Chains A and B, each alone.
Chain A
């Protein structure tokens, strides 16, 4: 509560003067007031931090200590560097420093054609690469104007792969979260389950990771024969394993002590910071783009949006665990509904011809050549398309100038925005809780730094 100049409240039977406490409109509040900011973010430049080592140590009792966590650290989920200001073991302020994995992908994206763009974008969020490819392809298709003409089979295949990717990403979260909190054997279990999904991906797309499978116009190849059995075997194996995780972690007192009440964020804070995905849902707001702004055919499927109530790390863990179950439910529904048909749009300008045609037709050969060397031209314009990735809202903003390469390609990475919530979650907690908080935010540094 911000103290006001005149806090006089005249309440009498006759009338109350609430003028001083009248709610100001949202646009009149400063960030400090919105965030209840008591200084959770440590505002210090890296150059100053480097000079700290030369400052004489003064062993005064209320001296706070500024230490570095990362970038090379087993628990920072990649190359995230945190400058923590500590008072004893308590974290007062924190500054996340990113950029250690900056790859210049947006600059590289300007020199790659729209067909090649998938290879670039897929390496941003390397835990859910298919979702990154999907949002890029959807943005390209919207610019091309073919977003309503994607064949049904292609759309359902995209949904299948996207949901399986969500499962594999959350299983990895289970593994790393467990290891960070101390349940080291979770690392083995989570990876064991993830391997099965990756093997399915290898069968379908040819690669375990960074597939470049979802391309503008559809998908790169059709599902192989027997895919239904493979997916069914995954769906049959997982529920029991997830039950084991419940026994090992969810109901266990140590786990609860470590995670409940840790890394609390309020709904207003989360919205103000732009945090989406499990972080926003853990505060109680049931916002899921698949449900609230549906894309592809998610409006035809039945699934629940998992919501937490306390906004703490335990809620985020439980949300992700149950989202695996929801994804399994979605995949089961998709299994029955994948129709036969084309796996990519038959628009010659966008889709390369089938390999067999190239031997027969000169036109097909020329088309193939043009698409793969020069690329297909995308009409001028700009779009922003967003979907729900395992980490939150991933969006792709493409501005095109009519050439075969994007003029400007920007990906709104959920982890980039979620990392801003870290100082607010860590404030007042212990250093050990800092590890739990980072793990519960589940950042992927590839998409944070791009």
Chain B
């Protein structure tokens, strides 16, 4: 079969892969959002901004200091994690006692500041970032050419997601997080330093976003606007999946990326809005989300 619905097979598979790549970003970002929301009860609007900062740090590392991709893949999330640590400690923690919307508004403010700074420094056009040598080129699979870097993005994202899932569901640290999500005061009464756990959770969540940013740098133009374009779609992904399960977030993210990719092939005019349309449908049919737990 060389063609499906008039689209040649290699083109279709190529779009499928792009959809998986975007889906990987959705999965990693919605995972970070869900982890932060679970413990802090805050929707981190700044998630998109940290994704962008992660990508920019990789670019800056290469451009100014000649640091390669692999180092930045580890360093960038670390730096952003420290940033997140500082933000939670100095600003976010004062808002836990008041209405949760203020957490959203604070992170919105942070987004505007961060994006504004980068926009002032670098304008709105994107900076190109080359994939590392080891991952450039493509593998011939017979029915299609598999761009190596894109395959790496999907693999690395899956690895990180599964690693996060394992840590949360199967380790003692994860048990603290799960218990803290349900009843943070009781966990504290057992002698666990919950405030520190909260800070580290926020730092970890935004580090995940930065990791996705570094992965994205060679694929998408590194621009100050790359985060805010993405974050609202990620919100829709989160509403569709519900934040009840990690596996759910991952599957929803990947699935929606693929659906979006396929829409781009068959109905390109709809591709920007298909995720939102699906969100509307899910809200009508299953309001708590595909994998959500009704509270």
| A and B co-occur in one complex | no
